């Protein structure tokens, strides 16, 4: 009896991510199970390079990515390129859908200097912009973060990511972080392990600490009353780095946490909610 055509049982790539629904402004954790053992894996999504690390217990490759607030709802191809131990290159492509998030709008009253700065203040702002343009685009290839990201303080959320803010009657910015309603002097903790790349007062941000967690991931802590770390310090997840306050453009004491990935601001609440072993 003549048999039918041979059936290929070639193993396939398995690509998973969380959160399950990705929206504009969302970070995502990619988990890749390749069809064979790899010595290295890299990826590209939304024109950003994705750094993967091998998680031995699960035998998967993991990497962080993100969609900016400006990302339009659509399907975007994730391109994966791996190298086997023999040096052979393998590749795979999978589309990831990005939906549109619903963000709110609020009105805020702040001192006039923060909406109509004087010439001297404008000069200060310009100098600080130059500093931020040097520091914030850093992409360190080595991963320092490990495991889940922990909240920087135990407190209710007073404002969420993506809120359009109308300062003194004018829409001037979109809230690119997560606000914790804490009184001045509350201990602020690093949400994961990394290296301090900035710790100083700035005009809008007030006293600010920026931590580089590696692979393009930065966290920013603003409006602090006291800095307890300096540039170049290594900090562990959960380590106290500052005390909260109301410095800079703030309506009162609170902690503003921002997450920046390869130049893109992402929703800290989503990052804190990722289930990472």
Per-residue model confidence (pLDDT) at position 95: 98
Q: Which of 99, 134, 150 is the last residue of a domain?
A: 99
Answer whether residue 132 is part of any domain: yes
Q: What is the mean pLDDT of the chain?
A: 89
Per-residue model confidence (pLDDT) at position 116: 63
Answer whether residue 177 is part of any domain: yes
Indicate if the pLDDT at residue 7 is higher than 50: no
Q: Which one is predicted more confidently, 219 or 113?
A: 219
For the segment 138-160, the average pLDDT, to the nearest whole number, is: 92
Answer whether residue 222 is part of any domain: yes
In the chain, the number of structural domains is 2
**In a shared domain, residues 31 and 115:** no
pLDDT one-digit tens code per residue, 192-213: 999 999 999 998 889 999 999 9
**In a shared domain, residues 140 and 31:** no
Q: Which of 33, 65, 99 is the last residue of a domain?
A: 99
pLDDT > 90: percent of the chain: 71
Q: Minimum mean pLDDT among 151-155, 172-176, 190-194, 267-271: which range? A: 172-176
Per-residue model confidence (pLDDT) at position 254: 94
Answer whether residue 9 is part of any domain: no
Per-residue model confidence (pLDDT) at position 250: 81
Indicate if the pLDDT at residue 110 is higher than 60: no
Pick the closest to residue 229 from 189, 258, 183, 177 (CA basis): 189
**Distance spanning both ends of the chain, measured CA to CA:** 53
The predicted model scores a pTM of 0.86
Indicate if the pLDDT at residue 170 is higher than 70: no
Per-residue model confidence (pLDDT) at position 178: 95
Indicate if the pLDDT at residue 8 is higher than 60: no
Answer whether residue 117 is part of any domain: yes
φ, ψ for residue 207 (rounded to 5)?
A: -65, 125
Per-residue model confidence (pLDDT) at position 111: 56
**In a shared domain, residues 59 and 113:** no
Pick the closest to residue 215 from 46, 43, 13, 38 (CA basis): 43
Q: Which of 59, 84, 99 is the last residue of a domain?
A: 99
Per-residue model confidence (pLDDT) at position 164: 79
Answer whether residue 113 is part of any domain: yes
Indicate if the pLDDT at residue 1 is higher than 60: no
Per-residue model confidence (pLDDT) at position 203: 84
CATH number for position 200: 2.70.70.10
**In a shared domain, residues 254 and 224:** yes
Cα 263 from Cα 277, distance rounded (Å): 26
Answer whether residue 2 is part of any domain: no
Per-residue model confidence (pLDDT) at position 72: 96
CATH number for position 75: 2.60.40.10
**In a shared domain, residues 54 and 70:** yes
**In a shared domain, residues 26 and 66:** yes
**In a shared domain, residues 117 and 241:** yes
Residue whose structure tokens are 């010595």: 39
**In a shared domain, residues 153 and 40:** no
pLDDT one-digit tens code per residue, 112-140: 555 566 777 777 778 778 878 788 888 88
**In a shared domain, residues 160 and 265:** yes
Answer whether residue 1 is part of any domain: no
Structural domain range at position 121: 105-273
**In a shared domain, residues 35 and 124:** no
**In a shared domain, residues 145 and 255:** yes
């Amino acid at each position: 009896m003549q048999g039918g055509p041979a059936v290929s049982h070639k193993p396939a790539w398995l690509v998973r991510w969380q959160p399950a629904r990705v929206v504009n402004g969302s970070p995502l954790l990619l988990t890749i199970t390749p069809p064979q053992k790899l010595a290295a894996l890299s990826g590209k999504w939304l024109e950003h390079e994705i750094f993967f690390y091998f998680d031995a217990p699960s035998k998967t490759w993991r990497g962080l990515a993100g969609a900016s607030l400006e990302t339009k709802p659509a399907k975007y191809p994730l391109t994966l390129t791996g190298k086997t131990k023999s040096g052979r290159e393998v590749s795979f492509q999978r589309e990831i859908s990005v939906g549109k998030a619903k963000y709110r709008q609020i009105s805020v009253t702040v001192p006039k200097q923060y909406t109509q700065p004087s010439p001297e203040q404008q000069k200060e702002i310009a100098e600080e912009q130059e500093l931020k343009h040097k520091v914030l685009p850093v992409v360190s290839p080595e991963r320092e973060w490990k495991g889940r990201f922990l909240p920087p303080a135990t407190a209710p959320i007073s404002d969420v990511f993506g809120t359009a803010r109308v300062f003194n009657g004018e829409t001037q910015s979109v809230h690119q972080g997560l606000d914790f309603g804490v009184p001045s002097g509350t201990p602020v903790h690093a949400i994961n392990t990394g290296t301090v790349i900035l710790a100083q007062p700035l005009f809008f941000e007030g006293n600010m600490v920026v931590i580089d967690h590696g692979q393009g991931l930065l966290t920013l802590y603003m409006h602090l009353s006291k800095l307890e770390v300096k540039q170049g310090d290594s900090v562990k997840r959960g380590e106290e780095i500052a005390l909260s306050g109301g410095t800079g453009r703030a309506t009162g004491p609170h902690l503003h946490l921002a997450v920046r990935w390869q130049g893109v601001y992402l929703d800290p609440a989503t990052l804190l909610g990722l289930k990472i072993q």
